[in-house]
């Protein structure tokens, strides 16, 4: 069935493909976060369309967009804002920071100290920020898209676990396949310039209000009791693996449930399936797991452990209404 979410997702995919070649996993993950009312952390080497993807999404949804370039000297007040004194009036006034936007790009978030990274925590979790003791609500919808470079460690500050846990999904961008990179060169030869997305035909296909309504529709997607137990079993299993020193939090389970709802809605269904959970789990769970050093030395990573869990946890059969499809739903990213 068609729904508000699946229709909008199709339009966004069409728009993103006008400027982003490949990177299907990253595109799917950022749409999960958009419709699931979450935040996304994008990791990738320079020049692999991280910033381009976020800029294009902001333009497509008609969002108020702000970009914050995180640097070692960035202060928390540069993110949330501060109070300033007007000597002429003798009064203080509030100067709001760039976090007051629908879509905030935190570019190279790991290049700023933890104190400034933490300035995002309240906004990401509570959709409000506090400036000199006064709380201010953030606009609706609100979404943080953060990027980081995995290959440069000098002058960087790893994100603390509390910060990482606030990101509903983490995804990555990689070098494109040969045919995709040749397509990039062909587009450039034809005049495409990533600085001018409008010239490539990227224009708003929705409004901030449409995103809010789509998010509400996502939360109406049916999640059977057996599927909720399935989600719990996956999350709980991450806490009993010998290679893992820190498993997934209860927040991870909540995020996985909503992500499964979003995946189902993007596929035009009003109920979630185990396939939706399995499709969303790598983006939602893996980045929250901390592998023990001795396991890392042996080449074990969080994604491998998670895949083993997904392969071993029993899949429920009674997952939803009687009108469930006879075929396995295709991934929205395909």
Shared domain check, 100 and 5: yes
Shared domain check, 320 and 263: yes
The confidence score (pLDDT) of residue 10 equals: 93
pLDDT tens digits for 62-112?
989 999 999 999 999 999 999 887 888 878 888 899 999 999 999 999 888
Shared domain check, 235 and 315: yes
The confidence score (pLDDT) of residue 323 equals: 45
Shared domain check, 236 and 167: no
Q: What is the mean pLDDT of residues 203-211?
A: 91
Shared domain check, 243 and 193: no
Q: 333 pLDDT band (50/70/90 cuts)?
A: very low
Here the tokens at position 193 are: 């310039």
In the block, tokens 């497509």 appear at 60
Share of the chain above pLDDT 70, in %: 93
Last residue of a domain, one of 169, 199, 217: 217
* φ, ψ dihedrals at 125, nearest 5°: -90, -45
Shared domain check, 283 and 186: no
Angstrom distance (rounded) from CA 29 to CA 50: 12
Shared domain check, 126 and 5: yes
The confidence score (pLDDT) of residue 322 equals: 44
Domain that includes residue 38, residue range? 1-217
Provide the 8-state DSSP code for 315: P
The confidence score (pLDDT) of residue 320 equals: 57
Q: Output the CA–CA distances (angstroms, integers) from residue 263 to 111, 299, 322, 326, in the order listed.
A: 32, 31, 19, 18
**Range of 123-137, 180-194, 227-241 with top mean pLDDT:** 227-241
Which one is predicted more confidently, 190 or 90? 190
The confidence score (pLDDT) of residue 150 equals: 76
Q: At a CB cut-off of 8 Å and minimum separation 6, what does 242 contact?
A: 292, 295
Is the pLDDT at 119 greater than 90? The verdict is no
Last residue of a domain, one of 193, 217, 241: 217
What is the number of structural domains in the chain? 2
Cβ neighbours of 55 (radius 10 Å)? 21
Shared domain check, 213 and 229: no
Shared domain check, 236 and 187: no
What is the CATH classification number for the domain harbouring 87? Answer: 3.40.50.300
Which one is predicted more confidently, 244 or 330? 244
Q: 199 pLDDT band (50/70/90 cuts)?
A: confident
Q: At a CB cut-off of 8 Å and minimum separation 6, what does 298 contact?
A: none
Q: What average pLDDT is seen over the chain? A: 88
In the block, tokens 């506090």 appear at 130
Here the tokens at position 325 are: 């499809």
Last residue of a domain, one of 217, 238, 253: 217
Is the pLDDT at 311 greater than 60? The verdict is yes
Shared domain check, 83 and 132: yes
Angstrom distance (rounded) from CA 60 to CA 8: 10
What is the CATH classification number for the domain harbouring 233? Answer: 1.10.8.80
**Cα pseudo-dihedral 108, 111, 115, 118, rounded to 10:** 20
Which one is predicted more confidently, 73 or 326? 73
Shared domain check, 175 and 124: yes
The confidence score (pLDDT) of residue 151 equals: 61
Cβ pair 156, 115 in contact under 8 A:
no
The confidence score (pLDDT) of residue 155 equals: 61
Angstrom distance (rounded) from CA 29 to CA 33: 6
pLDDT tens digits for 29-73?
999 999 999 999 999 888 888 989 999 999 999 989 999 999 999
Cβ pair 124, 79 in contact under 8 A:
no
Angstrom distance (rounded) from CA 58 to CA 208: 10
Is the pLDDT at 233 greater than 60? The verdict is yes
Sheet holding 143-148, edge to edge: 65-69, 103-107, 143-148, 40-44, 169-173
Shared domain check, 201 and 129: yes
């Amino acid at each position: 069935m068609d729904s508000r979410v699946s229709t909008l997702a199709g339009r966004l995919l069409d728009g993103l493909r006008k400027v982003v070649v490949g990177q299907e996993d990253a595109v799917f993950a950022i749409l999960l976060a958009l419709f699931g009312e979450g935040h996304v952390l994008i990791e990738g080497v320079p020049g692999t369309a991280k910033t381009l993807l976020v800029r294009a999404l902001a333009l497509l949804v008609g969002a108020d967009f702000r970009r914050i370039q995180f640097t070692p000297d960035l202060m928390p007040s540069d993110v949330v804002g501060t109070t300033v004194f007007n000597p002429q009036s003798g009064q203080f006034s509030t100067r709001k920071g760039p976090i007051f936007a629908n879509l905030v790009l935190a570019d190279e978030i790991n290049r700023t100290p933890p104190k400034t990274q933490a300035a995002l925590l309240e906004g990401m979790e509570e959709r409000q920020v506090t400036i000199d003791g006064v709380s201010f609500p953030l606009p609706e919808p609100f979404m943080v898209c953060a990027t980081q470079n995995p290959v440069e460690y000098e002058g960087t500050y790893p994100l603390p676990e509390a910060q990482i846990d606030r990101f509903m999904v983490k995804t990555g961008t990689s070098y494109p396949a040969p045919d995709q990179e040749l397509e990039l060169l062909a587009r450039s030869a034809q005049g495409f310039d990533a600085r001018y997305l409008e010239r490539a035909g990227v224009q708003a296909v929705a409004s901030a209000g449409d995103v809010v309504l789509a998010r509400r529709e996502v939360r109406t997607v049916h999640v059977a009791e057996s599927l909720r137990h399935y989600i719990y079993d996956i999350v709980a299993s991450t806490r009993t693996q010998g290679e893992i020193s820190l498993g997934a939090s209860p927040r991870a389970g909540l995020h996985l449930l909503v992500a499964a709802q979003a995946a189902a809605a993007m596929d035009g269904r009003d109920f979630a399936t185990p396939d939706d959970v399995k499709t969303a789990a790598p983006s939602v769970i893996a980045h929250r797991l901390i592998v023990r050093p001795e396991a890392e030395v042996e080449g074990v990573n969080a994604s491998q452990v998670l895949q083993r869990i997904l392969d071993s946890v029993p899949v429920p059969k009674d997952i939803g209404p009687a009108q469930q499809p006879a075929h396995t739903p295709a991934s929205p990213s395909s």
